[in-house]
């Protein structure tokens, strides 16, 4: 038995998950690097440039006159106009504050980048006006300020600083982002892994069931759907229904072949006995009986083939518009005498408005009706009644056949249209068990519905409803 | 007899010989067509499924070349559609395998005779003491008029037209009721026995309509 390897499937799904995670990782790194570069190149450079410009401005003022007062005035002027993110400190040669918004020279060095020094500055250390507390200061009471210092000829020192806390925070943001991305990737990987596993588990269930069916031919196994949800449940349900249907069909075929074997064994055994007895004496009656037995076997096969032909070929080439009333009347006429011989009253009633146009094959219809009437005649006791009634409705015509025989028990009714099915009561009467299946096949071919009901007080009512043909009978 | 199955072919040829007929067999469609076109036969038995050309092609070729020897088509395909196709192609009768030899024989004799007498229409049929006037729609037995139902009349007419030949139950169902299927029960027998009761003298020892065991019915001159 050929089976497909399941491993390929595993790697396919896993690969897909891994590929997606990898893709996410790469894009995160790319975005992170991009942000880092943007931070490095622009924010810092801009700050440095601004600081330098600022410092040069002051040094120019000093260089012009060499006056410390001018410089002091310039710084104080600037302090008035400048926003709070700038820091200035002018100190004398002993390091004492002359002016500025810092109390003293900051001490905690965070980072030295050439001439630029980044200090950690406590909020309380900022000079006259403390900067507003931002969301960051809640967690971190220190400011990051980037400074550049200029020592003047007269020994004074000028410090120009800029708040880079925002950039520093931005830096931490990027680091945070990286960690978050890492966490996210981990979580997603986990989710992906679990989802993939669930999908794989479902697929594996389906695969295992299919494998079992393929390998053992056991059609009774089903995909476990209880743990499944959504699309997989739907798929599994559909596949299970398909398996149900296949099982039904296979069982049907198995049953039919069992029945064929069983039903043909009897006449064939009898045939063998006849032939054996012919060895001893060449009795012409024995030959005839053997021939009759053979005919019965052939008739069974013919009936089977005919039903199969009608059921599977669905050929309607021989169909034409015909009058159902004609066929019913012919059937009545054909069987009237035999009913009379058996002291059965056989009534025919046709609706006043004939013809009853139906598209069909008159030979098949005649044969189907004939099977039904034959059954009715066979099972109706002497003095009984059979009635063949045609009715006219809006959408079609109904034909019913009622008899006063023993009827068919409710337990048997659903099965009598199956090939070779014989109700318990009729086991010992002659018949192939193919009469009603043929009726059903013919009715199906004609899109006619056939139903069985009781005909109180005793008997069977077979009712067939034919769709009306749009064109009149020829 | 154009048939590729050796067993069936020899069985039929032997059976025909036993019934006093001479038959020639052909195994392939080619041989069959050659025989049918070069020699004259009373009737041809033609299998549908043959090594090419197939039965239907042979039949159409024969009819197209003006050879109207009666043809009985044999087929394992039991569809009504197939029967219609076979008859449309120019077949005179159609028989589904497996069949009883008596059925084949009866049908063959009927179509062979139909071929020889042509379409000559008789107005009065006669068999023994029975006389049927087709124009007046009257049947008499030794001068005594017998009232018959229309169906009984056509039954008797068909038997008398094929006087001396066996007609099978299936043939009667086809010809009288115009339905094509294999009647498995004795319904036709009941109709025949009714007809017998009407046409036979009460004190006659034999019925005018004879039962041929395992085959069908026959009406003769005696």
pLDDT tens track for A347-406? 999 888 778 888 888 888 998 999 899 888 888 888 899 999 998 877 788 899 998 888
Please say whether the beta carbons of A173 and A32 come within 8 A. Answer: no
Please say whether the beta carbons of A409 and A371 come within 8 A. Answer: no
pLDDT band at A425 (very low <50, low <70, confident <90, very high): low
Q: What is the mean pLDDT of residues A244-268?
A: 82
Residue with tokens 């045939």: A271
Q: State the best of A284, A301, A317 to mutate against chain B, taking most chain B CBs within 10 Å.
A: A317
A435 vs A314, which has greater pLDDT?
A: A435
pLDDT band at A4 (very low <50, low <70, confident <90, very high): low
Q: What is the 3-state secondary structure (H, E, C) of A174-234?
A: HHHHHHHHHHHHHHHHHHHHHHHHHHHHHHHHHHHHHHHHHHHCCCCCCCCCCCCCHHHHH
pLDDT reported for residue B175? 85
ipTM over 0.95: no
CB neighbours of residue A375 within 10 Å: 23
Q: What is the Cα–Cα distance from A447 to A444, expressed in whole angstroms?
A: 5
pLDDT surpassing 80 at residue A15: no
pLDDT band at A130 (very low <50, low <70, confident <90, very high): very low
Both structure tokens of A280: 């001893």
Task: From chain B, pick out residues whose CB is under 8 angstroms from the CB of A287.
Answer: none
Q: What is the mean pLDDT of residues A33-56?
A: 80
pLDDT surpassing 80 at residue A182: yes
* Non-local CB neighbours of A204 within 8 Å, separated by 6+ positions: A6
Min Cα distance A412 → chain B (Å) is 25
Distances (CA, A) of A191 to A12, A16, A17: 17, 13, 10
Task: Tell me if A363 and B181 make a contact (CB, 8 A cut-off).
Answer: yes
> Which stretches of A39-84 are DSSP H helices?
45-65, 68-81
User: How many Cα atoms within 13 Å fall on the side-chain side of residue A227?
Assistant: 11
Percent of the residues in chain B that have a pLDDT greater than 90, as a whole number: 0
Choose the closest CB to A374 out of B98, B177, B185.
Answer: B185
Name the least confident of A149-158, A162-171, B4-13: A162-171
Q: What is the Cα–Cα distance from A337 to B193, expressed in whole angstroms?
A: 10
Q: What is the mean pLDDT of residues A6-17?
A: 64
Average pLDDT taken over every residue of chain A: 80
pLDDT band at A125 (very low <50, low <70, confident <90, very high): low
Choose the closest CB to B98 out of A288, A298, A335.
Answer: A298
pLDDT reported for residue A373? 92
Task: From chain A, pick out residues whose CB is under 8 angstroms from the CB of B184.
Answer: 299
Q: What is the mean pLDDT of residues B29-40?
A: 86
Q: What is the Cα–Cα distance from A166 to A135, expressed in whole angstroms?
A: 11
Q: What is the mean pLDDT of residues B42-52?
A: 84
pLDDT band at A139 (very low <50, low <70, confident <90, very high): low
pLDDT reported for residue A343? 92
Interface contacts (A, B; CB < 8 Å): 54
Query: For the segment A67-94, what is each residue's pLDDT rounded down to a tens digit?
Result: 778 888 888 888 777 565 778 888 888 8
Is it true that the peptide bond before B148 is cis, omega within 30 degrees of 0? no
A282 vs B140, which has greater pLDDT?
A: B140
Min Cα distance A467 → chain B (Å) is 22
Task: From chain A, pick out residues whose CB is under 8 angstroms from the CB of B213.
Answer: 288
A134 vs A67, which has greater pLDDT?
A: A67
State the burial class of residue B210 (Cβ atoms within 10 Å of its Cβ: 0-12, 13-18, 19+). Answer: middle
Min Cα distance A317 → chain B (Å) is 6
pLDDT band at A129 (very low <50, low <70, confident <90, very high): very low
pLDDT band at A115 (very low <50, low <70, confident <90, very high): confident
Query: For the segment B70-86, what is each residue's pLDDT rounded down to a tens digit?
Result: 888 888 755 556 777 77
């Amino acid at each position: 038995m050929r089976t497909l390897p399941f491993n390929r499937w595993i790697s396919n799904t896993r690969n897909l998950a891994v590929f997606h995670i990898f893709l996410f990782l790469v894009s995160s790194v790319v975005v992170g690097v991009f942000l880092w570069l943007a931070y490095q190149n622009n924010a810092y450079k801009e700050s440095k440039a601004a600081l330098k410009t600022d410092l040069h401005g002051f040094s120019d003022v000093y260089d012009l006159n060499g006056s410390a007062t001018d410089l002091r005035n310039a710084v104080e002027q600037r302090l008035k106009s400048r926003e709070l993110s700038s820091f200035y400190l002018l100190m004398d040669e002993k390091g004492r504050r002359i002016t500025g918004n810092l109390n003293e020279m900051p001490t905690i060095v965070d980072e030295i980048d050439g001439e630029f020094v980044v200090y950690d500055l406590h909020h309380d250390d900022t000079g006259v006006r403390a900067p507003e507390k931002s969301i960051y200061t809640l967690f971190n009471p220190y400011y990051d300020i980037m400074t550049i210092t200029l020592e003047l000829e007269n020994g004074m020192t000028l410090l120009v600083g800029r708040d880079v806390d925002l950039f520093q925070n931005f830096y931490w943001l990027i680091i945070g982002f990286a960690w978050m991305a890492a966490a996210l990737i981990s979580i997603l990987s986990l989710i992906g892994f679990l989802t993939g596993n669930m999908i794989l588990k479902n697929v594996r269930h389906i695969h295992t069931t299919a494998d079992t069916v393929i390998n053992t031919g056991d059609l009774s196994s089903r995909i476990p759907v209880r743990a499944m949800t959504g699309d997989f449940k739907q798929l599994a349900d559909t596949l299970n229904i398909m398996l149900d249907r296949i099982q039904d069909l296979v069982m049907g075929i198995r049953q039919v072949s069992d029945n064929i074997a069983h039903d043909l064994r009897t006449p064939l055994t009898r045939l063998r006995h006849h032939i054996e007895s012919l060895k001893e004496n060449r009795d012409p009656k024995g030959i005839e009986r053997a021939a009759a037995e053979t005919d019965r076997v052939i008739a069974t096969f013919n009936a089977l083939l005919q039903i199969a032909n009608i059921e599977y070929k669905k050929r309607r080439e021989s169909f034409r518009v015909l009058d159902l009333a004609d066929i019913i009347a012919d059937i009545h006429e054909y069987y009237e005498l035999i009913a009379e011989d058996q002291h059965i009253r056989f009534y025919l009633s046709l609706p006043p408005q004939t013809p009853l146009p139906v598209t069909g094959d008159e030979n098949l219809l005649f044969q189907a009706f004939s099977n039904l009437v034959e059954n009715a005649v066979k099972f109706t006791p002497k003095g009984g009644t059979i009635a063949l009634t045609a009715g006219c409705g809006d959408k079609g015509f109904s034909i019913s056949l009622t008899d006063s025989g023993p009827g068919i028990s409710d337990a048997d009714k659903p099965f009598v249209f199956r090939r070779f099915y014989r109700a318990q009561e009729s086991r010992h009467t002659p018949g192939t068990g193919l009469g009603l299946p043929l009726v059903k096949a013919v009715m199906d071919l004609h899109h006619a519905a056939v139903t069985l009901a009781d005909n109180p007080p005793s008997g069977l009512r077979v009712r067939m409803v034919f769709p009306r043909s749009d064109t009149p009978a020829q | 007899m154009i048939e590729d199955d050796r067993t069936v072919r020899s069985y039929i040829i032997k059976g025909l010989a036993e019934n006093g007929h001479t038959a020639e067999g052909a195994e392939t469609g080619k041989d069959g067509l050659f025989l049918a076109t070069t020699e004259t036969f009373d009737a041809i038995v033609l299998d549908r499924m043959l090594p090419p050309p197939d039965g239907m092609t042979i039949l159409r070729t024969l009819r197209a070349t003006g050879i109207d020897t009666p043809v009985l088509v044999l087929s394992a395909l039991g569809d009504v559609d197939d029967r219609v196709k076979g008859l449309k192609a120019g077949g005179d009768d159609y028989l589904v395998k497996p069949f009883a030899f008596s059925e084949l024989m009866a049908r063959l004799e009927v179509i062979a005779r139909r071929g020889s007498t042509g379409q000559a229409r008789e107005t009065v049929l006669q068999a023994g003491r029975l006389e049927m006037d087709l124009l007046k729609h009257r049947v008499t037995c030794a001068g005594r008029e017998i009232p018959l139902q229309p169906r009984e009349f056509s039954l008797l007419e068909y038997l008398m037209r094929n006087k001396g030949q066996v007609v099978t139950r299936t043939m009667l169902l086809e010809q009288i009721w115009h339905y094509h299927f294999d009647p498995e029960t004795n319904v036709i027998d009941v109709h025949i026995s009714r007809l017998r009761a009407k046409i036979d003298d009460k004190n006659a020892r034999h019925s005018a309509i004879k039962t041929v065991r395992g085959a069908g019915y026959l009406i003769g001159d005696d």
